[in-house]
Amino acid sequence: MPTYDEAWFASRATPGIRALKAYDPGHDVVAMRERTQWLVELGSNENPYGPSPQARAAVLDALHLMHRYPDPRGAALKVKLAETHGVAPSRILLGNGSHELLMQLAQVFAAPGDDVVYSQYGFAVFALATRAAGANARVAPALPDAAAMPLGHDVDTLLAAITPATKLVYVANPNNPTGTWLDRDSLRRLIDAAPREVIIVVDEAYAEMADVPDYASALTLAAHRGNVVVTRTFSKAYALAGLRCGYLIAAEGLVAVMERVRESFNVNSLALAACQAVLGDVEHLAWSRERNAEQRAALRAALQARGIPVLPSQTNFVLAHLGDATPAVEAALLDRGVILRPMGGYGLPTYSRIAVGTADENRLLLKALDEVRA
Ligand X SMILES: *Cc1c(COP(=O)(O)O)cnc(C)c1O
Closest residue (Cβ) to ligand X?
97
CB of 217 to ligand X, least distance (A): 14
Scored b (16 or more CB within 10 A) or e, 159-176 reads bebbeeebbbbbbbbbbb
Q: In what order do the strands lie in the sheet with 246-249?
A: 92-95, 246-249, 228-233, 199-203, 166-172, 115-119, 136-140
In angstroms, rounded to a whole number, what is the distance separating the alpha carbons of residues 32 and 341?
14
Stretch that binds ligand X, among 50-58, 96-104, 209-217, 363-371 (CB under 6 A): 96-104
In angstroms, rounded to a whole number, what is the distance separating the alpha carbons of residues 246 and 236?
10
User: How many residues make up the chain in this entry?
Assistant: 374
Binding mask 293-322 for ligand X (x = CB under 6 A): ------------------------------
In angstroms, rounded to a whole number, what is the distance separating the alpha carbons of residues 269 and 289?
26
Q: What one-letter code names the amino acid at 323?
A: G
C-beta separation of 348 from 121 below 8 A: yes
CB of 43 to ligand X, least distance (A): 12
Binding mask 172-191 for ligand X (x = CB under 6 A): x---x---------------
In angstroms, rounded to a whole number, what is the distance separating the alpha carbons of residues 220 and 99?
23
Nearer to ligand X, 176 or 326 (CB): 176
Near ligand X by CB under 6 A: residue from 47, 51, 78, 98: 98
Q: Does 329 bind ligand X (CB under 6 A)?
A: no
CB of 306 to ligand X, least distance (A): 26
Binding mask 108-147 for ligand X (x = CB under 6 A): ---------------x------------------------
Interface with ligand X (CB under 6 A)? 45, 97-99, 123, 172, 176, 203, 205, 233, 235-236, 241, 246
